[in-house]
Structure 1
Amino acid sequence: MAHPVMFSDDDPGLAELREICLAFPGAEEHVSYGRPTFKCGKIFAAFGGSEKLSPGHHRQVPSALLVKVAESEMQALDDDERFFLPASYGPFGWRALDLDDAAVDWTEVAELVDASYRLIAPKRRIAELDARSQGE
């Protein structure tokens, strides 16, 4: 049974996130479990999720950005109150940031997505990204 769609195209931050994510080489958007995900073979960013507060209790965060985080960056994000451990992805090295905030720093969001993409994407796509940025 398919999951119901749990987002709207006018959700806060989704248009901006799409623009950032779909600019990466080989990036595609797919709906998974009712939420937009961005893939390059594997998921490198997702929109919307929940925070596990305690066993059986979750806080829904419909405008969250979920990204894979390098082990070396994990503690810094865990110490930053803006970030939280997303329920399903968190145990696998992912962190989340709510994009429904007027103070969202889109440069920071782009950097988070870039770092996540580099952890997930095939080497040839990363080389393509690097070549593209050297040509600018």
Structure 2
Amino acid sequence: MYSDDDPYLDRLRQTALAFPESAEVEAWGRPTFRAGKKIFAVFEGNDEHPYAVIVKPDPSDRDALLDDPRFYIPAYYGPSGWLALDFTAAEVDWDEVRELLDASYRQVALKRMLKQLDQTG
């Protein structure tokens, strides 16, 4: 369902794996990024959106993100509040991607991971 040479995947890996104790685990045929055992991001691809990242944004930001055409509600994850950012909809702002990953990571990471994240900036 994905290839290691997919566009965007290498940069997403670098960004996601920079978080404390994060790891990449293949699940359901795609790369997932985890804080401990809990998923905070998924690299996604489908016919309509070939390259995207699924994250769980801060609930207070969700409605504003849905007003942006680059975001969509992904199958299976959407009912739990997750959103996907279509990497092919516009030029990717990797600072924005890091902020989205940060918000998603903070919802699942353990306190010691958050402390380490806040200490490293």
Asked if these proteins are the same fold (TM beyond 0.5), I'd say yes
Where structure 2 has 5 or more consecutive residues not aligned to the other structure, the ranges are none
- Name the CA shift for 1:101/1:74 in 2 (closer, same or farther; >3 Å): closer
**Match for residue 36 of structure 1 among 28, 31, 34:** 31
- Match of 1:56? none
Root mean square deviation, CA, Å: 1.4
Equivalent pair of 1:85/1:94 in contact (CA under 8 Å)? yes
**Match for residue 124 of structure 1 among 102, 112, 116:** 112
Where structure 1 has 5 or more consecutive residues not aligned to the other structure, the ranges are 1-5, 51-58
Q: Distance in 2 between matches of 1:108 and 1:70?
A: 13
Q: Any idea what the Cα deviations from partners look like across 1:45-86, whole Å, max 9, x if unmatched?
A: 000145xxxxxxxx5433110001121111101111110000
- Match of 1:48? 44
Amino acid aligned to 2:17: L
User: Please, what TM-score do these two structures have when normalized by structure 1?
Assistant: 0.83
User: Please, what TM-score do these two structures have when normalized by structure 2?
Assistant: 0.93
Q: Distance in 2 between matches of 1:17 and 1:109?
A: 8
Using the aligned pairs only, state the percent identity.
53
Aligned length: 120
**Aligned runs of 1:1-136 on 2, under 5 Å?**
6-40=1-35, 41-50=37-46, 59-101=47-89, 103-133=91-121
